[in-house]
């Protein structure tokens, strides 16, 4: 399944929500990767991927393996293991609206903390 650049109003609104969350984290950069995904990165390492296929937005978040196991083990979970990189703790969801934004924000911060250098994570604890 190939993704294209996000162009739908719904997709752009989701990108704006993630941009807002990431704006509170030190040294986050937004970048479009070679596959057309919008990525949020710290020190050029991604912790969020956003893509769109046929108007459906897909979100992938970096988590630790314990969090991934918890999310995938819930009944009727909207999460699934991200193809190709899931063994590294990545989870994806096709419908972000099924998850409270407070939980998504926690997952974003966790992904950031797993990706960023210790010095930046310490700054995060000071926020």
Q: What is the pLDDT of residues 55-82, one digit of tens each?
A: 789 999 999 999 999 999 999 999 999 9
pTM > 0.95: no
Quote the CA–CA distance of 26 and 34 in Å, as a whole number: 24
Q: What is the pLDDT of residues 8-33, one digit of tens each?
A: 999 999 999 999 999 999 999 999 99
Is 2 within a domain?
no
Say what the pLDDT of residue 1 is. 42
Segment (H or E) for 87: none
Q: Once rounded to an integer, what is the mean pLDDT over residues 44-51?
A: 96
CA distance to 4, 13, 47, 95, 107, per residue, from 74 (Å)? 30, 27, 22, 16, 16
88: containing domain? 9-119
Is 14 within a domain?
yes
- What is the tally of structural domains in the chain? 1
Nearest to 36 by CA among 63, 61, 87, 1: 1
């Amino acid at each position: 399944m190939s993704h294209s650049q996000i162009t739908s109003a719904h997709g752009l609104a989701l990108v704006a929500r993630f941009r807002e969350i990431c704006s509170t984290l030190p040294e986050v950069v937004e970048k479009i990767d070679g596959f057309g995904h919008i990525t949020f990165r710290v020190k050029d390492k991604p912790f969020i991927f956003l893509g769109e296929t046929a108007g459906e937005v897909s979100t992938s978040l970096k988590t630790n393996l314990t969090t991934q196991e918890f999310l995938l083990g819930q009944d009727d979970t909207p999460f699934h293991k991200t193809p190709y990189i899931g063994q590294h703790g990545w989870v994806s969801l096709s419908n972000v609206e099924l998850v409270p934004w407070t939980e998504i924000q926690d997952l974003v911060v966790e992904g950031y903390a797993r990706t960023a250098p210790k010095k930046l994570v310490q700054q995060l604890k000071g926020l």
